[in-house]
A and B are shown apart, each in its own frame.
Chain A
Amino acid sequence: EVQLVESGGGLVQPGGSLRLSCVASGFTFSSYWMHWVRQAPGKGLVWVSRSDTVGSSTNYADSVKGRFTISRDNAKNTLYLQMNSLRAEDTAVYYCVRGFYWYYFDYWGQGTLVTVSS
């Protein structure tokens, strides 16, 4: 069974940093592109970032470019999202998502809530 378990969310002040982690199981992690998608409270879905299978090709939404960094450790079956210079508008549930390449998203984690507030 495919499982994606996020952690690392919490309350952080504006300008602060957080690192999210996502531990994958039930599939060959190193064979899949992985993504982060976020959802602000009561709002819709927004793609944030993606990584190819080895972490050599990454992309970001304009809203997070230069502040967020996606990475992965295939030996640990873990995807990361380093979030710096956080803003109030980054407040959201962050989902770790398995992708069919850079196309559609076939498995989603339960999400971790990030709240940016003073």
Chain B
Amino acid sequence: DIVMTQSPDSLAVSLGERATINCKSSQSVLYSSNNKNYLAWYQQKPGQPPKLLIYWASTRESGVPDRFSGSGSGTDFTLTISGLQTEDVAVYYCQQYYNTPSTFGQGTKLEIK
């Protein structure tokens, strides 16, 4: 199975500042035939199910604010939240869907400093 490792485990950022969450896969999730990275990001607020933010590593889901962006390729990926807002407090997960089973990172808890 592909192991997804996120860093840091938790993060405290001031309102209006930038939050950066990293995700590393144990093998490349870049499919060479279509040059797509099989990587998604989810946000889970307390007491709620996860919500899809980003897929194909950098494509924002419809309705997701543009302060959320995804980048990276191969084995190293980043979720950036520019201009942190109070409603962004959540746990964030990366997921690879390159191989079965699909696997998730352990999660990164984002709080307000």
Question: CB-CB < 8 A to B42: which residues of A?
Answer: 45, 105
B40 at interface, CB cutoff 8 A: yes
- Could you tell me if B50 and A108 are in contact, using CB atoms closer than 8 angstroms? yes
Check B52–A47 contact: CB distance below 8 A.
no
Whether A102 and B49, one on each chain, are in contact in the complex, defined by CB atoms closer than 8 angstroms, is no
Give B51's nearest chain A residue, CB to CB: A108
Main secondary structure on B side of the interface with A = loop
A44 close to B100 (CB less than 8 A): no
- Which residues of chain A in 67-115 are interfacial with respect to chain B, using CB atoms and an 8 Å cutoff? 95, 100, 102-111
**B49 touching A44, Cβ below 8 Å:** no
Binary interface encoding of chain B residues 71-105 relative to chain A, with 1 for a CB under 8 A from any of its CBs, else 0: 00000000000000000000001010100111111
A59 in the interface (beta carbon within 8 A): yes
Complex CA–CA separation, A108 to B104 (angstroms) = 15
Q: Assess the B52–A105 pair: CB atoms within 8 A.
A: yes
- Say how far B63's CB is from chain A's closest CB, in angstroms: 11
Q: How many residues of B contact A (CB 8 A)?
A: 21
Q: Is A46 an interface residue (CB 8 A)?
A: yes
Contacts of A11 in B (CB 8 A): none
Inter-chain contacts of A104 with B (CB < 8 A) = 40, 52, 55, 95, 97
In the complex, what's the smallest C-beta–C-beta distance from A7 to chain B, in angstroms?
Answer: 15
23 contacts between A and B (CB under 8 A): A44-B93, A44-B105, A45-B50, A45-B93, A45-B95, A46-B104, A47-B102, A47-B103, A102-B97, A102-B100, A103-B40, A103-B97, A104-B40, A105-B40, A105-B42, A105-B95, A106-B61, A107-B52, A108-B50, A108-B51, A109-B49, A110-B49, A111-B49
Give me the interface of B with A, judged by CB distance under 8 Å: 38, 40, 42, 48-52, 55, 61, 93, 95, 97, 100-107
